[in-house]
Amino acid sequence: MRPQILFPLFADTDVLAGVGPKVAQNLEKLGARHVLDLLFMMPVSLTDRRSRPGIANAIDGQIASFEVEIEDHNPPPRRGLPYRVRAFDDTGYLTLTWFHGRPDYLMRQLPPGQRRIVSGKVERFSGEIQMLHPDYIVPLDQAADIPPIEPVYPMTQGLAAKTLRKAIAGALERTPTLDEWIDPGLLAERNWPDWRAALFALHQPTDLQVLDEESPARCRLAYDELLSRQLALALVRAKRRAKPGLALTGDGRKVQAILDAAPFTPTGAQTRVFAEIEADMAAPERMMRLLQGDVGAGKTFVAALAAARAVEAGGQCALMAPTEILARQHARSLAPLLEAAGLRLGILTGRDKGKERVRILAQLKSGDIDVICGTHALFQDGVEFHNLALAIIDEQHRFGVSDRLRLSRKGARPDLLVMTATPIPRTLALAVYGDMDLSKLDEKPPGRKPVTTRVMPLDRLEDVINRLGQLIQDGGRAYWVCPLVEESDKVDMAAAEDRYHDMKARFGDRIGLIHGRMPAQEKERLSQAFKDGEIQILVATTVVEVGMDVPEASVMVIEQAERFGLAQLHQLRGRVGRSEQLSACLLLYKPPLSETARKRLEILRNTDDGFLIAETDWQLRGMGELLGMRQSGMPRTRFARLERDTELLEIANTQARLIAQTDPDLTGKRGAALRTLLYLFEQDQAVRLLSSG
């Protein structure tokens, strides 16, 4: 159960003074449902109100505070004009200005002849010094009500900044002093404040450096956040290892049959990674391994070897892909290898209905299918395995964690191998996949020639289209990927359709169009027509990013490449260069390029190392969108910035693993404090795991 000391922080915001139903509703729009959410709302900037320059010395456009005497009021002679109040100090005159000002309210606030302190942004207009809608107006004896340094928070319509600040002040009053969970040596070395003091420093700052990357208060809170996540992952990992899994071993004959049938010699990386997987599968604990493979590094071959080992041990293997086109692509790639080893392959997607579906389900249940490829259909109700020993999930980031669990529940704690063709920076791998062991395929199969990458402005479009005309005559194949107009299937599809019609008018039936809104069967038909050469230029949205394997395709044109992320461009480029023929990727951009877009295209032109590209993409774009859209499992952080706080994450990871080894049940005083930390950052699942043993 959540510790009682935290109850006030998990109360709804309407317990705070000044927060009624309407304000609570607006706070929820900002993500603040509980009191704790207000404490964890990071200011976006700070306003310095300490400047008291005297009116005549005020700098245009800056915030300043003045002690003034009110001279007179000038109500507007007609509607639409501003209400003005004239005030002065020893150095000059100031006009306080309001649009739609209420005369009775302003007369009460600013009685002529009285002195007030006003604070706000100064503007010089038509020879006058004025302040439009002052932020603060207070009598002299209430000067302390104006904060010298004031946090600025994200806002939403209908919520006044003053109301939000008052709610946060109320939240601070409810903040308890908690026992320390950070290692004492680290706390002393970094000179960090305690948790409560760090929150006060953030929301009631006394200096302008509190939001800086190196500020002790921000670093402390960022570390707490990272430690909670890393500890949760480490505890899950430790508990998983303590529970028995399936020890999958075999005589090696089926694995050897696949090695003998392969039309190539496995790379050193493939051999190394399969050895890691083989050792995991043979162990009595359940395997949880993430396999990262650069584009074209041969993940499917490693998956075939792992599947053969599972079947040797008397089990079945399921390979789940996010789309039907990718599931069927895997089945096609695996078929000749599995057949050579005598393994029976099946496929199950949403398209399989009626008698065909009943037949596949019966074969799965009886054990007549050894390896099945499929989509989400694999974990639906009614799908039963004879003995699921290995679950392989491809393009993991396109599935939610619950999807992964639902597939795993189809067997008795099956081993799990997760694959991704998007190389993941180490920082992100720690943050998202810290409960898994990591393997890297960082070599490409021999015989593949590097893809020549060229960057050119869009006004060379005509030259590119003419070159494609020559390619058609020579019997070649090319992809043409249309610009990412916005994250909308509909709008992106429209861009692809326009380009398709332009090119069809020139090249006729040699052009095809494929996009995400097509029925799966139609996508499959077009992919096959492209593979067979009936279609020679495939105009597409980013639906071709994964799952298209057409070795005959030698040209990839990406229109308005500056709109895409680096990792996505690298994935798209990986659709060509899959044979021994020379291949090219043409990145067409629309000038002028931003500095970030220029760097992105330059890096792509200079390297095809997916791991280097992923690290660079991480630095250029930050954590939000590295794996396409904000992916399943990506931690939402309030204080930490993963791309910036790498060192803090590494320390948190080391500390979390040490705690999981030395005190996996979180006992004693520090253990109790660490449980409180997990609850604070809503890592409750890890605590429930501890409770359930």
- 298-330: buried (b, 16+ CB within 10 Å) or exposed (e) per residue? bbbbbbbbbbbbbbbbebbbbbbbbbbbbbbbb
Going along the chain from its start, the domains and CATH numbers come out as: 50-146 (2.40.50.140), 177-243+644-693 (no CATH), 253-441 (3.40.50.300), 452-621 (3.40.50.300)
DSSP state of 445: P
Phi, psi of 233 (to 5 degrees): -65, -40
Whether residue 493 has pLDDT greater than 80: no
Residues 289/250/348/490 CA torsion (nearest 10 deg)? 20
pLDDT value at residue 405? 67
pLDDT value at residue 166? 94
d(CA 352, CA 98): 68
pLDDT value at residue 547? 61
Q: Quickly list H helices, 421-545.
A: 426-433, 461-473, 489-507, 520-532
User: Do 45 and 211 form a contact (C-beta atoms < 8 A)?
Assistant: yes
Q: pLDDT band for position 400 (50/70/90)?
A: low
Note if the bond before 263 is cis, omega within 30 degrees: no
Q: pLDDT band for position 622 (50/70/90)?
A: low
Which residues 6+ apart lie within 8 Å of 336 measured at CB?
A: 261
Region of residue 610 (left: phi > 0; alpha: psi -120 to 50; beta: else): alpha
pLDDT value at residue 90? 95
Phi, psi of 442 (to 5 degrees): -115, 25
Model confidence over 501-510: pLDDT tens digits? 999 999 999 9
Place of tokens 């409960």: 435
Region of residue 409 (left: phi > 0; alpha: psi -120 to 50; beta: else): alpha
How close are the terminal C-alpha atoms of the chain, in Å?
A: 15
Closest CA to 423 of 166, 618, 634: 618
The average pLDDT across 425-444 equals 79
Whether residue 383 has pLDDT greater than 50: yes
pLDDT value at residue 391? 93
Q: pLDDT band for position 325 (50/70/90)?
A: confident
The beta strands (E) that lie in 268-334 are given as 288-293, 316-320
Model confidence over 683-693: pLDDT tens digits? 877 667 655 43
Model confidence over 289-311: pLDDT tens digits? 999 888 778 899 999 999 999 99
pLDDT value at residue 571? 86
- Global pTM? 0.71
> Residue 338, Cβ neighbours under 10 Å: how many?
24
Q: What are the C-alpha distances in Å from 90 to residues 51, 53, 54, 98, 147? A: 16, 11, 8, 24, 24
Whether residue 496 has pLDDT greater than 80: yes
Task: Report helix, strand or coil for 141.
Answer: helix
The average pLDDT across 388-398 equals 83
Q: What percent of the chain has pLDDT over 70?
A: 92
Least confident of 227-236, 375-384, 453-462, 609-618: 609-618
pLDDT value at residue 630? 38
Which residues 6+ apart lie within 8 Å of 133 measured at CB?
A: 97, 98, 99, 120
Q: Which two tokens stand for residue 33?
A: 């449902």
Q: Which two tokens stand for residue 668?
A: 């004693």
Residue type, 117: I
Q: pLDDT band for position 377 (50/70/90)?
A: confident
pLDDT value at residue 295? 76
Q: pLDDT band for position 625 (50/70/90)?
A: very low
Q: Which two tokens stand for residue 107?
A: 């007369």
Residue type, 330: H
Q: Mean pLDDT score of the chain, rounded to an integer?
A: 88
The average pLDDT across 640-655 equals 89
Task: Report helix, strand or coil for 93.
Answer: strand
d(CA 638, CA 648): 15
Cα Rg for the chain, rounded, in angstroms? 31
Q: Which two tokens stand for residue 96?
A: 């306080």
Q: What percent of the chain has pLDDT over 90?
A: 62
CA 144 centroid distance within chain: 43
The average pLDDT across 266-285 equals 94
pLDDT value at residue 404? 64
Model confidence over 65-84: pLDDT tens digits? 999 999 999 999 888 899 99
- 61-70: buried (b, 16+ CB within 10 Å) or exposed (e) per residue? eebbbbebeb
Q: pLDDT band for position 435 (50/70/90)?
A: confident
The average pLDDT across 637-643 equals 85
Whether residue 490 has pLDDT greater than 70: no
User: Do 119 and 63 form a contact (C-beta atoms < 8 A)?
Assistant: yes
Q: Which two tokens stand for residue 56?
A: 């005549």
Helix 253-261 vs helix 324-340: crossing angle, to nearest 10: 100
Task: Report helix, strand or coil for 630.
Answer: coil
Least confident of 390-399, 620-629, 636-645: 620-629
Which residues 6+ apart lie within 8 Å of 162 measured at CB?
A: none
User: Do 512 and 536 form a contact (C-beta atoms < 8 A)?
Assistant: no
Least confident of 117-131, 450-464, 536-550: 536-550
Whether residue 632 has pLDDT greater than 50: no
Q: Do the bridges between strand 584-589 and strand 553-558 make them parallel or antiparallel, or are there none, so unpaired?
A: parallel
The average pLDDT across 451-467 equals 93
